[in-house]
Amino acid sequence: MEKPSVGDSVASLCTRCKTVLDHIVVALERGAIVKVKCRTCGSAHRYRKPAEGAAAKTTRTPRRKRPAPPSTEALWAACLAHARGRERVYGTGGCYRVGDIVHHHVFGTGVVRKIYLHKCDVLFRDKQRLMASANS
Ligand SMILES: [Zn+2]
């Protein structure tokens, strides 16, 4: 095994994200990783070795049971990736189309998923919300 050094990428359990993610090594003690920083949430915490077998090495085991449906956040990220056009500031007077990216001052960035009369479904990072709009 190669010796880790500060700045390296390492898989660690993130205490905030509660899952195994890519981290950056920030502190070593006698050659062992003691502190890491999460690339996803940016929090620094003690290095937590991922559970044995689970995402430990780069061995590709065939996916077996994956009962968990994609989270709202994963769906939101996927929709954002497929959405086209520039982000627009959300307003009740706006007319939107499916796939539009809107920015709400409280809920953040969202993607329009469905259009109704005078309202639309917008998927935000935390959940989908029915929002007023000028659609007719
Ligand atoms: Zn994290």
Considering the entire predicted model, what is its pTM?
0.49
Structural domain includes residue 82: yes
* Gap from CA of 14 to ligand 1 centroid (Å): 5
Instruction: Answer yes or no: do 41 and 76 share one domain.
Output: no
Query: Domain range spanning residue 105?
Result: 72-132
Closest CA to 81 of 101, 67, 64: 101
Instruction: Answer yes or no: do 40 and 76 share one domain.
Output: no
* Gap from CA of 12 to ligand 1 centroid (Å): 9
Report pLDDT digits (tens) over 46-90: 999 887 545 445 555 666 676 777 789 999 999 999 887 789 999
Arithmetic mean of pLDDT, 85-109: 92
**Helices marked H in the chain — which ranges?**
72-82
* Gap from CA of 112 to ligand 1 centroid (Å): 28
Cα dist from 77 to 23, 81, 83, 110, 111, whole Å: 20, 6, 10, 10, 9
Report pLDDT digits (tens) over 11-38: 999 989 999 999 999 999 998 999 999 9
Q: How many domains does the chain have?
A: 2
* Gap from CA of 128 to ligand 1 centroid (Å): 23
* Gap from CA of 7 to ligand 1 centroid (Å): 16
